[in-house]
Amino acid sequence: MKKLFLIFCLLSSVLAFGQKKELAVHMGCYASGDTLTVEAVKRVSSVNLFGDGSGDHSLKQWSFAMTVKNKKTYTFKHNPKETNVITPQMRDAMLDKFKAVTRVVIKDIVVESKGQESKLDSVIFYLDNKALKVCDEKTAQAKDDLMLKFSCFKNGDVASVKDLLHYPTFSIINFNPKVDVRIVSYTFVVPKMDVRRNPKAIEGIENTGIELNAESFEMAKKLAPGEQFMISSIKVEFSNRKAKTKEIVTVPPISITIARKSSESCGEAGSDTLFVLEYSGKLLTGKDRNLPVVGEKVQLKDSRDSVVQITVTNSYGDFTFRNLKADEFYKLSVMAADNPKLKDQTLYLAKVDGTIVKSFEKKGNLFVYSVLPTELFQLAKEDEEDTELKIRNFGKSSQSELTVIEDIYYAPNSYEINDLSIAQLDKIISAMKQNPALKLAISSHTDANGDDAYNMGLSEKRAKKVMEYLVAKGIGQERLKAKGFGETMIKNRCKNGVDCSELEHELNRRTEFKFTK
């Protein structure tokens, strides 16, 4: 019994020691050794504990000590009712003695993790108005709201090579809807291999973006049981749209032990293909289907009802799942029971541009939407039918009219057509010359940004400018009509006063070409 007790104590101390290595205490978003300016001192509001994204850690106790040039030290205890808060007394002391302060120390730090308490080393900060570092506290806090997995495996998991490479991409689980997250780059660390498997003695392969590149993929296929699949130097961009800040940080590595059998199921394995399909959407609610559902967890399940990926909607209700199989049946799943974010208990799926796709079906305590393989197949099509071919086929068909929407680009507040749009217009000109019976009505539309009357006038000028270009290229004016509609025909929820994403606004900034015979 005594031996068991000693083993338990030893394990407890090892676990506590491990926590020290993975946890870090910051003042606001400033790390130990950083220097704060007066403005930074005014901004920081909390002492933050950053860990591995699991959310299992909490700050239980700490004290604040400030030393000035005459070696006098001012000490303050944390507020037990608000453990993380930097009190007004602490902030006032730093501002009052700013020029005389030699250092600020957060000490006597005690954290709790899974019911166990452990102590962390003290962290030191300096005060100087010449400091260069400026960071955003909300963005920094998002680091601890982030969990990264590779495929569906987290750091420390066990996986077979086939399961690991079935979805060879990061899964980003971001629990902070105020901050967007993007994988910038990372290194696939190649373990020590024999000459046959690694003739070039490659030690690491640089990757950019969310997906494992082809060279890394081929090398990972050679991993043997007992070896480590390791991703290191993971650089992640955190962007806060409201604060208009971006910060690129390096997050902890992911190490997965290769075995013959996996600790998790990521769906049916057995393919060595890199899957590059994406499925993006938007969650909307309310009777008018115009309220974005922000910060909502969305699960993607496969045909066996296994969770493949999890994500959280951003500030516009948008979400994205990557690396999907075009022949798989998927389901989107959102919690329904007593969800205050869902008005009238309704939930709609829309495209990221705000176009409504369909309502979710309520099943028990979940909202469910089935994504059919045909829907994914449409996403996978890289080349849509060419505009010129569409118009030619229309001329030969029995259809009475055809509407084509083209991206005609203008500089902001300008009606001059730029070079990118000339190629699109030239295709229309070519098709009309080969089909003399076709007539064309050009309509130009704007988004709801700006004054209504101004947008109406701008769209009129843009429509006429397109018509003038067609006439100059030999299309008879009697075959053409041009009209501007301003923001009177908005295609989604983005009317005056509604906060929308750039993609949603882009849907409304369009030029439509309606052909008749």
Span 74-101, pLDDT tens digits = 998 887 777 778 888 888 889 888 889 9
pLDDT at 433 over 80: yes
Query: What's the average model confidence in pLDDT over 129-137?
Result: 67
Query: What's the average model confidence in pLDDT over 480-492?
Result: 93
- The predicted structure's pLDDT at residue 486: 93
Dist CA 441 CA 401 (whole Å)? 11
- The predicted structure's pLDDT at residue 135: 62
Q: Specify which of 256-270, 407-421, 471-485 reaches the highest per-range mean pLDDT.
A: 471-485
pLDDT at 466 over 60: yes
Overall size of the chain counted in residues: 517
For strands 330-335 and 254-258, give the pairing.
Answer: unpaired
pLDDT at 188 over 90: yes
Burial of 104 (0-12, 13-18, 19+ CB in 10 A): buried
The per-residue pLDDT of the chain, averaged, comes to 80
Cα angle value 248/123/82 (rounded, 5°): 90
Question: Pick the residue with more confidence: 146 or 473?
Answer: 473
What is the pTM (predicted TM-score) of this model?
0.45
- Assign 43 a pLDDT band (cuts: 50, 70, 90): confident
Closest CA to 27 of 18, 12, 37, 15: 37
